[in-house]
Amino acid sequence: MGLALAEARRALVTEDVPIGAVVIGPDGGVLGSGRNQREELGDPTAHAEVVAIREAAARLRELSLAGGGSGDGWRLADCTLVVTLEPCAMCAGAIVLARIPRVVFGAWDEKAGAAGSVFDVLRERRLNHWVEVYGGVREAECGGLLRDFFVGHRTGI
């Protein structure tokens, strides 16, 4: 979670909402990392989770093509996604489609969360893939970063 929080803090530089994510591979190494970049890139899909998933898939594909890995790159089996905020519906869909088996997140998102708060896409039994979910990890720290950001934006700081 420390690495995801560091990514979240990097988002502050571009005035993006401070959310960070990392994809951890089966060996414990970081395969991909991301931060919210919607403002920076003008891309509504540039959520931290999507950026990290794209980077991890590209890395796995590179390893596979170089003979150092197996698979097609887009299936992130045996990986873990760590993110500072509960994934939204779009990101939850990407997690399911990438076949990520585990998600660890910090703060709950009572307005748009799709890992148990508003929706539970990650554990929806009608889908073809289910995800283990571990929420509330370093919740106070993750939530505090978001609260401080929004207080600053509302007051013009």
User: Which residues define the annotated binding site for Zn(2+)?
Assistant: 47, 88, 91
What are the catalytic residues? 49
DSSP labels, the chain: -HHHHHHHHHHGGGT----EEEEE-TTS-EEEEEE--HHHHT-TT--HHHHHHHHHHHHHHHHHHTTS--S-SS--TT-EEEEEE---HHHHHHHHHTT--EEEEEE--TTT-TBTTS-BGGG-TTSS---EEE--TTHHHHHHHHHHHHHHHHHT-
CA 142 centroid distance within chain: 13
Cα–Cα distance for residue pair 56/7, rounded to 1 Å: 15
